Structure 1
Amino acid sequence: MVRKPVPVRLDGRGRFIGGLLLGIGLFWLLWLFLFHPVSVPMISRWSMVDAATTPVPASLLQSEPLKAVGVTLSTPNDTPPISRLQALQLAAQAEPDAATSAKKIDAHYVLLTYPAVTNHQNHSSFTNLPTWLIWYQQVPQPSTNVALTTQPPQDLYLFINAQTGQPALAIWA
């Protein structure tokens, strides 16, 4: 004679634990869908402190590549209209190749002064414009010469207007 398998009935404790596990799983799934940053995969909104008051290093305020093109930076006293994270996301949209391939990325809230030069009509004059300076360091450059296999990496200084969110100025050095 063959015995039929008896279906297992869960008692009260088993139902509670099963419901709890199911609830945790659904909460985790909703968390992934609703709070996962998808616009810029390399920047996590949880791993980066959004501090606007970090002091600008003196080496950056007196940077030779910026001085060479006539850029003067100063430290603002007010809080920025857009956050550091928003500025980084806007910069990544404006320069996606630099954002993904840079060895290091720094962001500082600064006042930009840049006199327009007669031979560079692409940019306007800026006087104490509140901007976010996104500094992409050691960005690999594609080779322009067949004999050279690689070009030395360069830095990109990208200024994002803190009031409009538009790129104001980009300097490769």
Structure 2
Amino acid sequence: MHFVVMGVSGSGKSTVALRAAERLGLPLAEADRFHPAANIAKMSAGAPLTDEDRRPWLASLAEWIAEHERRGEPTLVACSALKRAYRDILRTGAPDIRFLHLHGPRSLLAQRLAERSDHFMPPALLDSQLEALEPLERDEQGVTLDIAATPDVLVERVVGIVAAGLGRVPGARG
């Protein structure tokens, strides 16, 4: 079983996924690290990525998931996964992927983006991400979590959801 912590830039997906993966002892893929240099350059210049730009990036993430699936290892992934079509690409890596959508108001997302300086994604691209965002559909396995909660609370919720999905005691490793 594999879990994707998803959401637009500023939703906290990397922070929450990293902390949850550490608590659960799971391999973590931070999707930003899978972007080709051309995608990073494009976003850094303030241009939103197209579906065509994203396709090879998502395929590489799906392959990472597939490698772990072949070894029988559950994983956690931090990825925007904005559209159903993008999530469908990720699902090619394994049959059982669950999505944990970190969602909240534009004002909170914009505030978070304005406060960070260590990321290539400029705050100006938030609106393009919100326009592209397609919430989870009824037939997609997953839940939506409100980012108004503190990161600690969100980590606890994600750990609980993932642990339950894996049949583990929350916080237990292995």
TM-score band w.r.t. shorter chain: under 0.3
Q: TM-score, normalised by structure 1?
A: 0.21
- The structure that is helix-richer by fraction is 2
The answer to which structure, 1 or 2, has the higher relative contact order (CA under 8 A, 6+ apart) is: 2
Q: TM-score, normalised by structure 2?
A: 0.21
Instruction: Report the structure number with the largest CA radius of gyration.
Output: 1
- The structure that is strand-richer by fraction is 1
